[in-house]
Structure 1
């Protein structure tokens, strides 16, 4: 297949690119083509802007992973705008290009996040599926809701749209663990707030595997929770990470301190969700790392 990938230079996109490059022709959208080419290989085609395309007739599939990191900086007004624009604009452009195509891609896989569900109040442990109600007051819900709406505009009888609501992605060379591991290795790790909030996570290998599953299964469409089947509390996650690193986990991060340091962005750490991948499991996807212990053991063995 000839596949267009946005966000290919990111944590998830770079691994997915390496896997798909063995069997497919890839075109990668990146703000820095030369830098990305040096990292991912000169044998791919590169675009610096979707404005270079009049349509997507030459592509069999599109995988949209682009977006400003939601936890990269404090949520100032300008940062919120960057988070929204980086997701909504490019997704809208892709849907518009698909609509302008005479022979459009058969598959459009577009990222979203478990932040779509907002936060579970009072740290409820009720499991959330793809059809669960959401807390519409949350910034993360508003971001994801429109993100998904823009992607769904591409759906036709010819083009199927798959939306993946991604949890915390665990990998050895980046993502959330890149920020978590250094203090844990120093013995400074501990639960966040009361530790009861849900953490919906997924091993990087399972996330790329799910994307490829959706890419190659022509009957799949709609929303899929891209997280492991066993979400855990922050306290359980903390203990599992300490165990994998052979370090103590006794120094908590108080909620009030996080609110002072991070402002509104602290909600993604203090609050959480217990999200399960009901549709992926029902439709035949098998997780290689379904539990937090075996995922972290593989990453730090």
Structure 2
């Protein structure tokens, strides 16, 4: 049997772990590159790396099928000078070091897939497809630098695909976790004016998109990884409350969101107050079949 190793740098978070578990079910051998030392489990191998330098982990690239890079400090933080630097550095360093390691590999993986973000479009209610204008806020600027760094190096025999990932919904963590906690204690009301869009997708669809990119040699460049039905925040929160059997909840006005974000959640309020209305135009054009396009059904299945 051909080697089916897939390296997942930074894969110990919610998205990476979910994808690793999915890979096992479809016959691949996931190897998570992580800063902490961990024992192999559930068919997943763990290898240490620092995300900045080529080390012993580079040998795992020999004969591997693909690399899927999930590395990057979580945006769920306050944008202090230190955090801003780390948000940028963690992303750019990993992209550069993976390229360096690939150049030192004889039998290279044929594809590198980068987990990016829809935040590149900024805060907008305009319909965004892959070629839409980019935003000009801090998260957009990170994404622009990140994408530029990823596509900068052309490595012989290596195809590059970048997924701008939306609000990924899955069990046991990720973007849904904090919202669910708030909804359960009666605080699942509309956030701010409620008109900001949430471009959501089910994690199962995301996992299938990534495997498709590994296996389909025609896939290259940038894709919006989101469902076909973005919704406004007011609609999303209502759907979330309904899924757990909660009725009306008081809205959280902008000032309360800002206060709560900085004081209690220790995060940037813009994460809740801004949004974007994105469409997976290229995936639709290329015939990708979504399993989850109805938000009510999706949330009922995940949390109901």
Q: Give TM-score scaled by structure 1 length.
A: 0.91
Equivalent in the alignment of 2:70:
65
Aligned partners of 1:46 and 1:249: how far apart in 2? 47
Aligned partners of 2:80 and 2:168: how far apart in 1? 24
Q: State the secondary structure of the residue aligned to 1:133.
A: coil
Aligned partners of 2:113 and 2:46: how far apart in 1? 19
Residues 93-141 of structure 1: per-residue CA shift (max 9 Å, x gap): 1122223333322100001101011111xxx3x2100000011x21111
User: 1:102 pairs with 103, 106, 119, which one?
Assistant: 106
Equivalent in the alignment of 1:85:
89
User: 1:287 pairs with 287, 290, 293, which one?
Assistant: 290
Contact 1:33-1:48 within 8 A present in 2 as well: no
Answer yes or no: is 1:265 the counterpart of 2:268. yes
Bigger shift: residues 170-179 or 245-254: 245-254
Count of residues paired in the alignment: 292
1:6 CA displacement: 1.2
Q: State the secondary structure of the residue aligned to 1:19.
A: helix
Bigger shift: residues 44-53 or 61-70: 44-53
Equivalent in the alignment of 1:234:
233
Q: State the secondary structure of the residue aligned to 2:268.
A: helix
RMSD over aligned CA atoms reads 1.9
Contact 2:95-2:150 within 8 A present in 1 as well: yes
Q: State the secondary structure of the residue aligned to 1:194.
A: coil
Bigger shift: residues 189-198 or 2-11: 2-11
Residues 31-67 of structure 1: per-residue CA shift (max 9 Å, x gap): 1132xx36x4476252334422457333221000111
Aligned partners of 2:237 and 2:259: how far apart in 1? 22
Aligned partners of 2:163 and 2:103: how far apart in 1? 21
Map 1:204-215 → 2, pairs under 5 A: 204-215=203-214
User: 1:3 pairs with 2, 6, 9, which one?
Assistant: 6
Map 1:27-46 → 2, pairs under 5 A: 27-34=31-38, 37=39, 40-41=41-42, 44-46=45-47
Equivalent in the alignment of 1:165:
164
Query: Structure 2 stretches of 5 or more lacking a match?
Result: none
Equivalent in the alignment of 1:186:
185
Q: State the secondary structure of the residue aligned to 2:277.
A: coil
Aligned partners of 2:129 and 2:211: how far apart in 1? 21
Q: State the secondary structure of the residue aligned to 2:55.
A: helix
Aligned partners of 1:127 and 1:67: how far apart in 2? 27
Aligned partners of 1:267 and 1:235: how far apart in 2? 16
Residues 128-166 of structure 1: per-residue CA shift (max 9 Å, x gap): 00000011x211111111111222134445111110001
Query: Structure 1 stretches of 5 or more lacking a match?
Result: none
Equivalent in the alignment of 1:48:
49
Q: Give TM-score scaled by structure 2 length.
A: 0.90
Answer yes or no: is 1:13 the counterpart of 2:12. no
Equivalent in the alignment of 1:128:
128
